[in-house]
Chain A
Amino acid sequence: MAATRAGPRAREIFTSLEYGPVPESHACALAWLDTQDRCLGHYVNGKWLKPEHRNSVPCQDPITGENLASCLQAQAEDVAAAVEAARMAFRSWSVHPGVVRAQHLTRLAKVIQKHQRLLWTLESLVTGRAVREVRDGDVQLAQQLLHYHAIQASTQEEALAGWEPMGVIGLILPPTFSFLEMMWRICPALAVGCTVVALVPPASPTPLLLAQLSGELGPFPGILNVISGSASLVPVLASQPGIQKVAFCGALEGGLRLLIQESVWDEAMRRLQERMGRLRSGRGLDGAVDMGARGAAACDLVQRFVREAQSQGAQVLQAGDVPSERPFYPPTLVSNLPPASPSKGSSSVPWPVVVASPFRTAKEALLVANGTPRGGSASVWSERLGQALELGYGLQVGTVWINAHGLRDPSVPTGGCKESGCSWHGGPDGLYEYLRPSGTPARLSCLSKNLNYDTFGLAVPSTLPAGPEIGPSPAPPYGLFIGGRFQAPGARSSKPIRDSSGNLHGYVAEGGAKDIRGAVEAAHQAFPGWAGQSPGARAALLWALAAALERRKSTLASRLERQGVELKAAEAEVELSARRLRAWGARVQAQGHTLQVAGLRGPVLRLREPLGVLAVVCPDEWPLLAFVSLLAPALAYGNTVVTVPSAACPLLALEVCQDMATLFPAGLANVVTGDRDHLTRCLALHQDVQAMWYFGSAQGSQFVEWASAGNLKPVWASRGCPRAWDQEAEGAGPELGLRAARTKALWLPMGD
Chain B
Amino acid sequence: MSAHNRGTELDLSWISKIQVNHPAVLRRAEQIQARRTVKKEWQAAWLLKAVTFIDLTTLSGDDTSSNIQRLCYKAKYPIREDLLKALNMHDKGITTAAVCVYPARVCDAVKALKAAGCNIPVASVATGFPAGQTHLKTRLEEIRLAVEDGATEIDVVINRSLVLTGQWEGSDFIKTSTGKETVNATFPVAIVMLRAIRDFFWKTGNKIGFKPAGGIRSAKDSLAWLSLVKEELGDEWLKPELFRIGASTLLSDIERQIYHHVTGRYAAYHDLPMS
Contact = CB atoms under 8 A, between A and B. Distances in A.
A11 B37 contact: no
B22 A752 contact: yes
Contacts of B89: 10-11, 14
Given A13-B41, A17-B230, A749-B23, 4 more contacts: A20-B42, A289-B35, A403-B24, A404-B24
Interface string B27-47: 100000011111111101110
A13 B21 CA distance: 35
A22 B37 contact: yes
A340 to B, nearest CB: 34
B235 A17 contact: yes
B22 A17 contact: no
A18 B226 CA distance: 11
A733 to B, nearest CB: 40
Contact of B34 (A11, A19, A136): A136
Most buried by A among B40, B202, B226: B40
B231 A10 contact: no
Interface in A2-51: 7-11, 13-14, 17-22
Nearest to B48: A14
Contact of B40 (A11, A20, A383, A601): A20
Interface in A572-588: none
B88 A10 contact: yes
Contacts, number: 82
B167 to A, nearest CB: 23
A460 B234 CA distance: 73
B226 A20 contact: no
Contact of A290 (B26, B35, B42, B234): B35
Contacts of B24: 403-404, 749, 751
Interface string A277-288: 010000000011
B44 A288 contact: no
A17 B88 contact: no
Contacts of B235: 17
B1 interface: no
Nearest to B202: A270
Contacts of B35: 132, 288-290
Interface residues of B, number: 35
B48 A19 contact: no
B23 A13 contact: no
Interface string A606-639: 0000000000000000000000000000000000
Contacts of B40: 20
How would you classify the secondary structure of chain B's contact residues: helix, strand, loop or mixed? helix
A287 to B, nearest CB: 6
A174 interface: no
B22 A10 contact: no
B36 A288 contact: yes
A13 B46 contact: yes
Given A10-B87, A13-B45, A20-B42, A288 B37 contact: yes
Given A18-B42, A132-B35, A136-B34, A404 B88 contact: no
A602 interface: yes
Contacts of B202: 270
Contact of B42 (A13, A132, A751): A13
A305 to B, nearest CB: 27
A571 B49 CA distance: 89
Given A17-B235, A383-B19, A751-B21, A10 B44 contact: yes
B265 interface: no
29 contacts: A9-B41, A9-B88, A10-B87, A11-B88, A13-B41, A13-B42, A14-B92, A17-B45, A17-B46, A19-B36, A19-B227, A20-B39, A20-B42, A21-B39, A22-B38, A132-B35, A136-B34, A270-B202, A278-B231, A287-B37, A288-B35, A288-B37, A288-B38, A290-B35, A404-B27, A600-B23, A749-B23, A749-B24, A752-B22
Interface of B: 19-27, 34-42, 44-46, 48-49, 87-89, 92, 202, 226-227, 230-231, 234-235, 238
A8 B88 CA distance: 13
Contacts of A404: 23-24, 27
A438 B21 CA distance: 48
A750 interface: yes
A8 B40 CA distance: 11
A20 B43 CA distance: 9
B38 A20 contact: yes
A492 B23 CA distance: 63
Contacts of A14: 45, 48-49, 89, 92
A14 B38 CA distance: 13
A11 B48 CA distance: 10
A17 B34 contact: no
B225 to A, nearest CB: 13
A403 B45 contact: no
A752 to B, nearest CB: 6
Interface string A204-230: 000000000000000000000000000
Nearest to B195: A271
Most buried by B among A9, A270, A290: A9
Contact of B23 (A11, A18, A750): A750
Contacts of B42: 13, 18-20
Nearest to B17: A383
Contacts of A289: 35
A21 B39 CA distance: 7
A20 B37 CA distance: 9
Interface string A377-391: 000000100000000
Contacts of B46: 13, 17
Interface in A646-696: none
B23 A601 contact: yes
A17 B48 contact: no
A751 B22 contact: yes
Contacts of A21: 39
Contacts of A752: 22
Contact of A403 (B21, B88, B226, B234): B21
Given A290-B35, A750-B23, A17 B41 contact: no
Contacts of A10: 41, 44-45, 48, 87-89
Nearest to A136: B34
A139 to B, nearest CB: 14
Nearest to B43: A20
A546 to B, nearest CB: 46
Question: Which 6 pairs from chain A and chain B are nearest by CB?
Answer: A751-B22, A20-B42, A13-B45, A749-B23, A10-B45, A14-B45
A344 B197 CA distance: 37
A290 B227 CA distance: 14
Interface string A75-103: 00000000000000000000000000000
Contacts of B36: 19, 288
Contacts of B22: 750-752
A404 B26 CA distance: 11
A290 B38 CA distance: 14
Most buried by A among B39, B230, B235: B39
A287 B34 CA distance: 9
Contacts of B49: 14, 17
A11 B86 CA distance: 11
Nearest to B229: A17
